[in-house]
Structures are given as C-alpha cells and as structure tokens.
C-alpha cells in the first residue's frame, strides 16, 4: 500500500494528474469516486467476476479473461505487504519465485477497460495491472492500485491536496 506521507511532492503531483485524467475520462471526480466506492463495497472482490466485468452506477469495467481466487488473493497480499513501488519480480531460487512468475504471466497481458455509461461523459481509460520495466523489474501499476485496492481516503487526499513543487 502506498504510504502517502512518505512521497515527495513531484511524485504526489504526478499521481494526482494521473487520477484527474482518469476521472475526467469517465465523467469527472464524482463518477471516479463512485467507481472506487462501489468496488470497495463489494463483498466478493470484483476481480473474481465470472464474466470478467464489473458494472458500477456510471459505467463498466471489463477485462479479457476470468481471474481465479488464488491470483486475486496473491494480489491482495502484494498490495498490503508492499512498500512504495516495490519490485514484484523475485530472484531465481526464491521459494515463491514460480508462484509470482505464474501470477505475473497470468495478469500481465490483461487490459482493464473502464468505460462510462454515457459516451458524453468521456472516452474511458485502459489500464494494466503491472508496469514492466525490464525482464527483472515489474511494479504494480498505480492506477490499477487506485481503482481496485488503494483506500478511498488516500484517493480523496490526492484529489484535494494542493501540492507545492518547491
């Protein structure tokens, strides 16, 4: 999970811009926050959907294939236990190396499409679960983390806070 107070101002500003751009792509801040709230309210995590989609009051999130419980559980564990921007790739020989590599191969190619219900609200946006830097480095994508896992109060804080780049 992101430790918001430990981020520098330029990182906070960059993250804020990403969130604002995605919010306006689906109709604005309120539509974006309602998406996040509705995902958090679900008893069963939306990524476990049998039809690889999640409907929210202002649109639809869909992805290419069904994700099984073991992968979602691992993703939840990663988001809770990780430090800021921690590399997900493990060294060969690590006891969880094979599990993590299978996990990255499964979720890596999936594109998540967020579309507003009304086309007048925007064009929507796409996101990936991971940012692959090179063959030995992969990070959880910030916007994927925001949409599916980051606590709502941090997202609201990013929207509200005035960031001074001094």
pTM, two decimals, is: 0.86
pLDDT for 36-49, tens place per residue? 999 999 999 999 99
* Cβ neighbour number for residue 113 with a 10 Å cutoff: 15
DSSP one-letter string for 63-74: ESS---HHHHHH
Pairing of strands 125-128, 130-134: unpaired
Task: Give the three-class secondary structure for 92.
Answer: coil
Residues 6+ positions from 118 with CB-CB distance below 8 Å: 27, 58
pLDDT tens-place string over residues 155-164: 888 888 776 6
Helix axis angle, 9-25 to 152-160, nearest 10°: 100
């Amino acid at each position: 999970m992101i430790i918001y107070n430990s981020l520098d101002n330029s990182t906070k500003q960059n993250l804020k811009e990403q969130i604002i751009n995605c919010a306006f792509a689906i109709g604005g801040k309120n539509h974006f926050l309602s998406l996040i709230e509705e995902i958090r309210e679900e008893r069963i995590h939306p990524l476990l959907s049998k039809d690889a989609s999640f409907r929210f009051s202002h649109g639809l999130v869909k992805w290419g294939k069904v994700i099984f419980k073991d992968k979602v559980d691992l993703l939840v564990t990663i988001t809770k236990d990780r430090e800021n921007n921690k590399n997900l790739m493990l060294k060969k020989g690590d006891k969880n190396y094979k599990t993590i590599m299978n996990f990255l191969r499964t979720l890596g190619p999936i594109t998540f499409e967020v579309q507003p219900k009304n086309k007048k609200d925007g064009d929507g946006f796409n996101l990936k679960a991971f940012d692959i830097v090179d063959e030995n480095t992969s990070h959880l994508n910030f916007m994927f983390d925001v949409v599916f896992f980051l606590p709502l109060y941090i997202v609201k804080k990013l929207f509200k806070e005035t960031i001074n780049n001094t």
